[in-house]
Structure 1
Amino acid sequence: MKKLIFIAALFSALSIYAKPAKKVKIGIAKIVQHVALDDIERGVIDAIKDAGIDADYDLQNANGDVGTAAQIANQFKAEKVDVAVGIATPVAVALATAIKTTPVVFGTVTDPVGAGLVSTVEHGQRNVTGMSDAIPTEQHIKLFKEAAGIKTLGYIYTSNEDNSASALSLVEKGCKEAGINLVTQSITKSDEVKQAAEAIVNRVDGIYLSTDNTVFSAIASLVNVFGKAKKPIFSGDVTAAKEGGIFMASGFNYYKAGRATGEMVVKILKGAKPASLPVKFMTDPSDSDFLIDLDSAKNCEISIDQKYIDSANFIYQNGKLSEK
């Protein structure tokens, strides 16, 4: 009897790593289209492909609209996708609300507990698990103060997103710890970003950007406003800084985060239960990038300490990006 139980347990364990025999269908939805979220999507697909899984994809973009996100969730439910992937909080919440049995894997959700997706990051909940894009906001603000000498920090956030509300509390905490003033401006959609930047730029020494997807979907307008005012920008999303105009950026590599999310999908397709998989965090130093924009520093009349340049793996200078 003990031998039979052992064999059964061994078979069950091995089934988690068995290759799916049939072509699977995967729905991937993101809240908006911008470089970081595109990198997440690409990483998910590449990880699944590299695992040797034959898959068809339904790729959807909610264009920043929560109602559209709900429609996409119902579409995935009707199509009976094998796994539904939600990139960013509003889409992930829409999927988890509509889909109760099919596995739902979220990507780039800053506060999955606060969003109600899981009750703890120690493991998934029912059919839901995923990857968090929580960033060290307090450390970023301290670094920004040290490098640029700011005394008053600006922050623009999307007031109707749980992700942004959670990030705001971290920014407030970071400013308090750093002993600097905070000036905030709320928005509800991407076409308000330029107006918000114009409203705040003359009241601050610089602006901090967390991983707010609505803000980043209109990042060019914000960079233009602060560039003209010669005020520095610190971004928690390095992908947005690779086009120039952002003084300093530190954050994890979104493509690697996409691959980590895709690897969770692979485990589920091979038999693992979402509830058994803990929320993934990008904590390894190799998962992160650090960028210094010397053109922006010159425009803002900031002298960069050599220690920051030495520690950066991306340098933007003379209109070109180089990687160490």
Structure 2
Amino acid sequence: MNHMLIPRNCSMHAFFAFTSAGMTRLLCALFLCNATLALAQTPAPRDQPVEARHIGTVTIAMVLPREEQNIEEAFKAYLQHQGLSVHYIPIRFSGRAEDAGRLRQEVRDAHPDLIYSWGTPTTLALAGKVDGPAGDAIRDIPIVFTEVTDPVGAGLMRSLDHHESNVTGVSHVAPLPVQLNAIRSYRPFSRLGYLHNPAEPNSALVRAQLQQLAAQQKFEVESADIPLDARGEPDVQALPGLIRSMAERKVDFLYIGPSTLLAFTHRDLVTGAALQARLPTFCATESIVRRSGCMFGLFSNGANTGRYAAAKAMQILVQHIPAQRIPASTLQRFSLLINMRTAQGLDLYPPMLLLNIAEVIGLGPNPLRLGMAPR
């Protein structure tokens, strides 16, 4: 995979005008500056204390709303490489708020030394909001999360550095201004489409941030709410129609943020509908580009995210540092991934300079001409 090294001499969140002559400068702005590489942030195997091999077997509850993927594989591989003996207990979360109590009890019954949690809804179901009533929320077992977009905005902690909670972890999403620069590096835009899921806490946060940046950067956000059924669940059958309406409203790109519903559970439905509507898609997470049909995206590599989360778990389990003293982090190195099969289907080819730094997948027949949606 190709990665762009972070330039050290740029100012934070620098922006550059989109011109052919200024394209290189714009690419510099895709990445946060004055930061170290993600792998440099993750302690190397030789830097970990030798005690890992002498503390006995620890128990980690792996709480996921899905099957394990490369993030979890990297998490486990890192701990194994450090010589830590781990008994893993897989626990599946339905994603429904009404099942949170049952989930907490199942986790407590497992008596884990540490909980690994994937995603905002799952982590909130376990720990609850830091300023909310404790109730039966898990506040006495350390929780290490991955793929929580905005832990402060979601209410999991008061700040990333001094959070005073039993929750820490790694966010995988590039800052939104950096994502917008990535979109501009492919093609200028004046209007972005956004599907808001009222059932996901992150969705309203991302929309508000997009709208704030739209006012600052002079573009429009066309937002559509996904309707809820009688149980309060999103009506996924409405998605194709909402996406067609976005195309009719002449949005330049459909922005798909870090939504479990859109970017994971129903990613094929979303990207297939966008392709049929000839609507370009930009995604903030990896799997919807790599395993479905999103046209391109910018994100932290999943394996790096898993390793970095594992390093935090080592601090808790081996060095006995309380989770309260371990800052939550966002990786500072991002991968640009282009799904050329989708780009071919839309006849929307990326600039050559992007191809020089991006990983390109899906070289093959045009999916629209074959009359099929991407798998």
Q: TM class by shorter-chain length?
A: 0.7 to 0.9
Give secondary structure in 2 for the equivalent of 1:259. helix
Aligned twin of 2:122: 91
Give secondary structure in 2 for the equivalent of 1:317. coil
Give secondary structure in 1 for the equivalent of 2:84. coil
Equivalent position to 1:29, from 54, 57, 63 = 63
Aligned twin of 1:156: 195
- Between the two proteins, the alignment pairs up a number of residues equal to 300
User: In structure 1, how many angstroms separate the alpha carbons of the residues matched to 2:165 and 2:280?
Assistant: 44
TM-score, length of structure 1 as denominator length: 0.83
Aligned twin of 1:304: 350
Report how far residue 215 of structure 1 moved.
1.0
RMSD: 2.5
Equivalent position to 1:189, from 234, 242, 255 = 234
Deviations 1:223-245 (A, max 9, x none): 11111121111111133212353
- Trace 1:220-235 onto structure 2 (pairs within 5 A): 220-235=268-283
Report how far residue 164 of structure 1 moved.
2.0
User: In structure 2, how many angstroms separate the alpha carbons of the residues matched to 1:24 and 1:180?
Assistant: 51
Report how far residue 265 of structure 1 moved.
1.1
CA, structure 1 residues 147+127, in 2 after alignment: closer, same or farther (shift >3 Å)?
closer
Give secondary structure in 2 for the equivalent of 1:102. coil
Unaligned runs of 5+ in 1: 1-14
Which has more helix, going by share of residues? 1
Say whether the 8 Å CA contact 1:147–1:304 is kept in structure 2: yes
Deviations 1:96-150 (A, max 9, x none): 2421212122222122122222221114424222222342222322432452343
User: In structure 2, how many angstroms separate the alpha carbons of the residues matched to 1:47 and 1:161?
Assistant: 31
User: In structure 1, how many angstroms separate the alpha carbons of the residues matched to 2:211 and 2:157?
Assistant: 25
The answer to whether the aligner puts 1:18 opposite 2:65 as a matched pair is: no
The answer to whether the aligner puts 1:59 opposite 2:90 as a matched pair is: yes
CA, structure 1 residues 260+42, in 2 after alignment: closer, same or farther (shift >3 Å)?
same
Give secondary structure in 2 for the equivalent of 1:245. coil
Report how far residue 176 of structure 1 moved.
3.0
Report how far residue 50 of structure 1 moved.
1.9
User: In structure 1, how many angstroms separate the alpha carbons of the residues matched to 2:49 and 2:141?
Assistant: 17
CA, structure 1 residues 62+244, in 2 after alignment: closer, same or farther (shift >3 Å)?
closer
Equivalent position to 1:251, from 283, 295, 299 = 299
User: In structure 2, how many angstroms separate the alpha carbons of the residues matched to 1:190 and 1:58?
Assistant: 32
TM-score, length of structure 2 as denominator length: 0.73
Unaligned runs of 5+ in 2: 1-47, 129-136, 227-232, 367-375
Aligned twin of 2:314: 266
User: In structure 2, how many angstroms separate the alpha carbons of the residues matched to 1:196 and 1:71?
Assistant: 34
% of aligned pairs identical?
A: 21
The answer to whether the aligner puts 1:238 opposite 2:286 as a matched pair is: yes
Equivalent position to 1:116, from 155, 159, 162 = 155
